[in-house]
Chain A
């Protein structure tokens, strides 16, 4: 499905993600059975477009934003415990140091960097650059790879700190 359009990326990984997204989003629905109202929107919309990396990055930008919104609870808990005293701080340190805690913090770090780079991407567009097809694709891949690289980098540094 992707192969016809590919060329731009050439990355097998993207194709795998793409096929998976196609399976996830493009389940066939018999629209003729629905009333006119249920068939809206009638103009091309999310379910009709072939999922593209740039589109997925847009969705992930919003999802990471929402995740970071609730992730501020983690920061608030940490700071309040620190202000409250040694016992609450010991509790929060234990929770964040546990396997599950580290997993959540790893996810938080990734969401933070992915959203940060997504913001930089939007800033580049706001300045009027990077809107043609190769540039869009490059920026989308850069956001994805850059976010993962920065996350791993921070955790490697943290590991040896």
Chain B
């Protein structure tokens, strides 16, 4: 019926909702956005951690409680967690084909990412404000 030459449907209407074009474009764009953000953030993150080496508990608390390092760390964790969630999702989509296993894996990916992200953010806020 889709190939009926008398059909008045446009080419676009004939194929809409039939393909795999679902949320993929938005995810690809989010991946690019977080990638670009993570270039300076990763360098800053590594730099902050290097300055913390050999410092004791009180000193590290004081350093990471400062606004600049804390905000950089929060941005890094935020962008990083979202980036890695999308990345692992792509890996699962590529390699896990069994229906139920795939659903569980995608769910576990979200649980892991959210848990790690919230744990890091909570810890950073506590270091800053406690």
Question: Real complex partners, A and B?
Answer: yes
Chain A positions near chain B (C-beta within 8 angstroms): 62, 65-66, 68-69, 72-73, 75-76, 79-80, 82-83, 85-86, 89-90, 109, 112, 116, 119-120, 122-123, 126, 154, 157-158, 161
The listed residue (A62, A123, A158) touching B35 by CB distance below 8 A is A123
List A contacts of B119 (CB < 8 A): 76, 79-80
**Can you name 5 A-B pairs with beta carbons within 8 Å?**
A66-B91, A69-B88, A73-B116, A79-B119, A120-B39
Q: Which residues of A contact B127 (CB under 8 A)?
A: 79, 82-83
- In the complex with contacts A76-B119, A79-B119, A82-B64, A116-B42 CB distance below 8 A: yes
What residues of chain B lie closer than 8 Å to A90, measured between beta carbons?
57
- CB atoms of A116 and B130 under 8 A apart: no
Partner of B87, one of A65, A75, A79, A120: A65
Q: How many A-B pairs fall under 8 Å by CB?
A: 71
Given contacts A122-B35, A154-B46, A157-B50, A72 and B126 within 8 Å (CB-CB)? no
Which residue of B has the minimal Cβ distance to A86?
A: B57
A158, B53: Cβ atoms under 8 Å?
yes
Per the 8 Å Cβ criterion, residues 81-105 of B in contact with A are 81, 84, 87-88, 91
Chain B positions within 8 Å of A, measured between CB atoms, are 32, 35-36, 38-39, 42, 46, 50-51, 53-54, 57, 60-61, 64, 77, 80-81, 84, 87-88, 91, 116, 119-120, 122-124, 126-127, 130
CB distance from B95 to the nearest CB of A (A): 10
Are A112 and B46 in touch, CB under 8 angstroms?
yes
Contact B51 A161 (CB under 8 A): yes
Give the complex CA separation of A73 and B119 in angstroms: 10
Q: Is the CB of A83 within 8 A of B32?
A: no
**Nearest CB in chain A: distance from B114 CB, A:** 12
Please give, as numbers and ranges, the residues of chain B lying within 8 Å of A119 by CB-CB distance: 35, 38-39
Given A76-B120, A82-B61, verify A69-B84 contact (CB < 8 Å): yes
Tell me the complex Cα distance, A89–B124, Å.
14
Q: Which of B38, B42, B54, B87 interacts with A69 by CB under 8 Å?
A: B87
**Contact check: which of B36, B84, B124 meets A72 at CB < 8 Å?**
B84
Q: Cβ of B122 and Cβ of A83 under 8 Å apart?
A: yes
Which of B35, B50, B122 sits near A161, CB closer than 8 Å?
A: B50
- Contact yes or no, A82 B116, CB < 8 A: no
Among A66, A73, A76, A80, max chain B CB count under 10 A is at A76
**Quick one: which of B46, B77, B84 contacts A65, CB cutoff 8 A?**
B84
A161 B42 Cβ-Cβ under 8 A: no
- Residues of B within 8 Å of A120, CB to CB, are 39
Inter-chain contacts of A161 with B (CB < 8 A): 50-51, 53-54
Instruction: Give the Cβ gap from B9 to chain A, nearest Cβ, in Å.
Output: 33
